[in-house]
Structure 1
């Protein structure tokens, strides 16, 4: 049995597993089909990873870091293939897909360097003893990753798990299984056998993996509904769970900013990657003093994004139907459709950049994560109102504040119950940051140095000399 698990076991020969059939969301053409792993194959994958854990954990952090540099080299050698499969399965542009692979390469190298520096702490005890902490790997980590940035997210979680001495069973998204299998093959070839095992499948596969008593930790990036099911399953197995799940990120446009610049920032946040980014702008609160000029500029931005040949489709028609339902529901409930909002003819899963005005908090497009190129706008009379409305949401991933007021920026930072607050830039951040989502958006550090702490258990040592 190889680290990249494909063959069925004896007990599975009479099963007829389903297959994942993928079409290109740009053209509607078939990409191919991938077998869904059976429950027995999932169990075997955990056994393989568990069997490799002891030897891998015994390696020095420097040796594991060197192995991650080899992973980065292997990814770089295959970056074109990985980007092309991402493009074909998810519709992401070649440039964005290539950027995602290169981000994964950088993340692998980052953890290759951070892993050996992941230090314990000295504790203050009596002068006759030494007290300190040691970080130890947890065991088998189940990594379940999404389709919207499939290489960068997967490699980040896998690299953090591996460099701290854990072994991994990875289930990539069912929306890009060919990419997941190629990535699994690249990782398996670059690492010792059993350190990373890849299984293909759908929600049933993920449920079998996350309910396994052999899994010590689960790292999940995906929908809030799936994350909640994982958290419930982990209560029974005792697995440690970190989750970055859905978001309903707000952008607050203050009265003192340039409305044209604010519209460009909002468009970038709402329409980049067809709105399929975890921290995409999902709700827009704009001050009445700049609302008219802001809406005019936002409509122009939306039409520019729609006309741009580089703007890609949604991942499939199923998601497009959900996005369009949100728009239709909003219009039926009194929102004004300023541009977009129509399902285009032709192949694929394209959807135009859409702007809705006169939205209200109770509308579905404001309450739920739409995950498409839609900017629902609500006009507010004050910054206080914007903060209050933005905070009244069960999600807690991120928020953006566009303001020239330092006091308003500090108030938003203090009062918005989210893991990340961005001021005057819808995307961006320094290297090495770690954030914890709140509420229905998940829990735990999912990236940065904080992820190394999540991947390990802390042991306290008290050492005295014998009398």
Structure 2
């Protein structure tokens, strides 16, 4: 968990282990002068980095992937201590980050322009060029994997990068920056530690060409408004309120296992976690009993890690309490446990209604709020409502229902019969308050580059003089 220190040096970022409240450490945030100096250094390094061949940049990215693998245990342990992420998940995040760097090492040199058809004696084509200086602001819930994707795509396309990791895992972010920076020339990748103030200073810098942000919708909206004045290109994946619609022709126990996975994985602290559930009345009773059993098993065997800090737990508990006060029933969990740390149990809420905050806003905790619906149409209509547009899941054996869901749900990703998963190389554009642009996949390379059209015509030679 992360707090501001209460001593005289209150500006320090102090991190406590969310498992037991013990001190992880304290770090100084970057000053205004350090932010400005980083921008100057990164800007100065960019032309030289752009001159490095794409093939050579790709080789450096491959070396960065190997460096992550060499430090896997160290980075995973820091992740566990700062965010409470289970060790296997933390290791998986570092491995995913290394694999992503390796993928962009291969994809980056293959990004190319196109030949165009002009006059027979002319040459017409396009070239891709880096945008310049990229600011990358990354979250705490999967810090290495998310950072690796954005950093890899930005660097391999010739941009220099200033990375500000989340203040909730600053030691991990600083160490990640040290490991990666050793692979690249000086000032190509700079890491700055800080909280929201540091990020705000960076996004207001007029020499920043692109800002990539993964985090809350409120912060993303402020970044977008600032970029309208600085003219920086913005890539953002922000909050979600992802629905799960359950048809009456699926096995209710299987549906409950899917709902539990989507709601409780990483203690519900995943951008695409299941945030609201609409189950058909025909199977509601069996689904309810199976979902409660899934939640109780996770609580009894302590299969869920803590939330990242007390502030996050307070926000989750407030939403749960508000739902109960408004008529929902907590069939499992719902209370803050005694003892140190930021633990919160897997919670099942029944009889939820569309006006409850827990059904309209992102919760980011291990909560499965359920509303029973009379038919698939009602569930689909409710799922399509709201201000977010990140992802949605439908469980059904009817292809017409699946096709209707794909057409009706205004989100970046629609998943049918699986709350997680998908083929490699997929990339989605979040909608509405969930963000803008491609945040991953091959298309992320396009976000960090610009296209230039070139036309080479035939000149008129000067007449020879006698």
- Scaled by the length of structure 2, the TM-score of the pair is 0.96
User: Which residue in 2 is equivalent to 1:56?
Assistant: 49
Contact 1:82–1:183 (Cα < 8 Å) also in 2: yes
Q: 1:25 aligned to 4, 18, 35, which one?
A: 18
Q: 2:355 aligned to 348, 353, 362, which one?
A: 362
Correspondence list, 1:16-415, <5 A: 18-415=11-408
Structure 2: stretches of 5+ with no match in the other structure: 1-7, 461-466
SS in 1 for 2:113: coil
Q: 1:423 aligned to 399, 416, 419, which one?
A: 416
CA distance in structure 2 between the aligned counterparts of 1:135 and 1:185, rounded to whole angstroms: 29
Q: Deviations over 1:423-454 (max 9, x none)?
A: 10100011111100001000000000110000
1:462 equivalent to 2:449? Answer no
SS in 2 for 1:246: coil
Contact 1:257–1:403 (Cα < 8 Å) also in 2: yes
SS in 1 for 2:368: strand
Root-mean-square deviation (CA), in Å? 1.1
**Total equivalences in the alignment:** 453
CA distance in structure 2 between the aligned counterparts of 1:307 and 1:458, rounded to whole angstroms: 55
Report deviation, 1:223.
Answer: 0.3
Structure 1: stretches of 5+ with no match in the other structure: 1-14
Report deviation, 1:308.
Answer: 2.8
Contact 2:307–2:343 (Cα < 8 Å) also in 1: yes
Q: Deviations over 1:301-334 (max 9, x none)?
A: 0111222334200000100000000000001000
Report deviation, 1:129.
Answer: 1.7
SS in 2 for 1:388: helix
Contact 1:17–1:38 (Cα < 8 Å) also in 2: no
Change (3 A) 1:25 1:130: same
SS in 2 for 1:190: coil
SS in 2 for 1:179: helix
Change (3 A) 1:387 1:167: same
CA distance in structure 2 between the aligned counterparts of 1:226 and 1:306, rounded to whole angstroms: 33
Report deviation, 1:16.
Answer: 7.1
User: Which residue in 1 is equivalent to 2:5?
Assistant: none
The structure 1 segments of at least 4 consecutive aligned residues displaced by more than 6 Å after TM superposition are: none
CA distance in structure 1 between the aligned counterparts of 2:32 and 2:298, rounded to whole angstroms: 44
User: Which residue in 1 is equivalent to 2:464?
Assistant: none
CA distance in structure 1 between the aligned counterparts of 2:186 and 2:280, rounded to whole angstroms: 57
Q: 2:434 aligned to 428, 437, 441, which one?
A: 441
CA distance in structure 1 between the aligned counterparts of 2:260 and 2:308, rounded to whole angstroms: 19
- Scaled by the length of structure 1, the TM-score of the pair is 0.96
Q: Deviations over 1:116-161 (max 9, x none)?
A: 0001122222222221111000111000000000000001100000
Report deviation, 1:337.
Answer: 1.0
Report deviation, 1:17.
Answer: 7.8
CA distance in structure 2 between the aligned counterparts of 1:360 and 1:424, rounded to whole angstroms: 24
SS in 1 for 2:182: helix
CA distance in structure 2 between the aligned counterparts of 1:284 and 1:84, rounded to whole angstroms: 34
Q: Deviations over 1:74-124 (max 9, x none)?
A: 111111100000000000011100000000000000000000000112222
CA distance in structure 1 between the aligned counterparts of 2:331 and 2:322, rounded to whole angstroms: 15
